[in-house]
Chains A and B, each alone.
Chain A
Amino acid sequence: MEISRRELLTKCSKLLILTATAAKALENSRTAPGHDDTYRMAEHWWGMIVDIDKCIGCGNCVRACSKENQVPQGYFRTWVERYQVTEDREHPLVESPNGAINGFSPATREDTKSFYVPKLCNHCADSPCVQVCPVGATFVSPDGVVLVDPDYCLGCRYCMQACPYGCRYFHPEKEIADKCTLCYHRITKGLTTACCESCPTGARQLVDLKDPKDPVHEFLRNNKVQVLKPQMATGSKVYYKNLDGSVR
Chain B
Amino acid sequence: MAVHRLLRDSGHLLRPLLILLAGLGIFLLVRSAVVPKAFGQYGHYRPAALAVNRQNPLVFAGQGACVVCHDDEAKARAAGKHAHVACEACHGPQAQHAADPLALKPTLPDVATLCARCHAKDTAKPKTFPQVITAEHSGGVVCNTCHQPHNPHL
Residues of A within 8 A of B (CB): 31, 41, 53-60, 64, 67-69, 82-84, 103-104, 106-110, 112, 114-116, 136-142, 147-152, 181, 184-186, 188-189, 191-192, 194, 197-202
Contact = CB atoms under 8 A, between A and B. Distances in A.
B149 to A, nearest CB: 12
B44 A115 contact: no
A197 B65 CA distance: 12
Nearest to A110: B123
Nearest to B129: A56
Interface stretch (B4-12, B15-23, B85-93, B138-146): B85-93
12 contacts: A56-B122, A57-B124, A67-B93, A68-B93, A69-B56, A106-B120, A107-B124, A108-B123, A109-B123, A114-B124, A139-B43, A150-B49
Interface of B: 37-39, 42-46, 49-50, 52-60, 62-64, 82, 84-86, 88-90, 92-93, 117-118, 120-126, 129
A191 B59 contact: no
Contacts of A83: 124
A107 B45 contact: no
Output the residue of B44, B60, B64, B129 with the most chain A CB within 10 A: B60
Output the residue of A56, A104, A116 with the most chain B CB within 10 A: A56
A96 to B, nearest CB: 12
B122 A57 contact: yes
Given A103-B117, A185-B56, A137 B45 contact: yes
A194 B129 CA distance: 23
Contact of B54 (A68, A104, A185, A197): A185
Contacts of A64: 60, 88, 93
